[in-house]
Amino acid sequence: MVLHRITFIAALLVTCNLVNAKELAETPSYNARVLASDLDQPWSVAELPNGDLLLTERGGQLWRVDNAGNKIKIGGVPAVYHKSQGGLFDALPDINFAETGALYIAYAGGGADANRTTVVKANLNDNTLTQITTLLAVNPDKDTAVHYGGKLAWLADGTLLVSVGDGFEYREHGQDLDSEMGKLLRINSDGTIPADNPFVATAPRVFSYGHRNPQGLVVDAATGSIFMTEHGPKGGDELNIIAPGKNYGWPAITYGIDYSGAVISPFTESPGMEQPITYWDPSIATSGLAIYHGNEFTDWEGDLLIGALKDRKLYRLEMEGGTVLSQSEPFPEVQGRVRDVRVFSDGVIYALTDEGQLYRISRN
């Protein structure tokens, strides 16, 4: 066991660019149970104020799930473009959902020749979406069914962050402020543009740029820090702390290479471009991202939980002052392509896998 742990940490330092690794603490006693196992391409899970879960399936289904795993289908979901990586993505309750009943939903809109990441606002009434209003349709359209982003997160000021991928074949758009692909966007809750966005005169909705395919997004309620993960190509998955107006480099700098083996860029850094706080080479295929605050696993306060599609695991990143100290696999029972992970207000952890399982993880 000791030899295995030493070998693991040594490999971790080489492949993940982690610094100051400490001895990994044992996971406290816990209960990881499968709450539902019949899901079809689940993509995201969110918390409703009454304790129910809001769950999306990429094919276009939206479900309300109770703590016994019972599902109620929600009607009125907009038609999605479901092909390859396209479909229904995030569903995020309004900050004041108990009063407004409003949801914000990200999905792939359009069709094969012209599609885009789209965000709508809707009211949830008697398990049906009503008063659907389009808040954002990424410009320009693309004709690829990949790299949408589609993650949503609230900032403390009530503005909404929306991650957008580069469309794969349009990777140069990541550096082009005339395009909203390869960006993190920021809008008001009614779809209007915040007056303090960093490029409000020229690229009104752009908050940060130089991103490839952001698959994890979380705002730390304690500090206001914005953490985002994105897929690299072959190698070079990144974890970044996002600041307004900053350029995160793709594809001008990268720690990965093309899937063909060709060099995308000879550079891993450049003046005026931000470095990730850590990266993975080889790729783990980063997905959902959550920050731990709660009373279930108190020793993990401020640490990150991250899903890995390729590694088929749920990882914990031990954090200190914006630095990753170590990486561990606290819940080996969670197996499969971990698509999403969330920490609810009671400190309970929920994780989704592409294989259709929803896990609930608590201390009891």
Tell which residue, 58, 53, 52, 104, has the closest CA to residue 80: 58
Tell me which of 147, 173, 211, 231 is the catalytic residue.
147
CB distance 234 to 258 below 8 Å: yes
CB distance 34 to 356 below 8 Å: no
CB distance 138 to 148 below 8 Å: no
CB distance 322 to 225 below 8 Å: yes
Residues in CB range of 231: below 8 A, 6 or more apart: 212, 213, 215, 237, 283, 285, 286
147 is catalytic: yes
CB distance 331 to 361 below 8 Å: yes
CA atoms within 13 A on the CB side of 37: 5
As a residue count, the chain comes to 364
Q: What angle do CA 135, 137, 141 make, to 5 degrees?
A: 175
Q: Is 336 left (phi over 0), alpha (psi -120 to 50) or beta?
A: left
Q: What angle do CA 316, 320, 326 make, to 5 degrees?
A: 40
Beta strand 206-209 with 183-187 is antiparallel
CB distance 321 to 24 below 8 Å: no
- Positions annotated as catalytic residues are 147
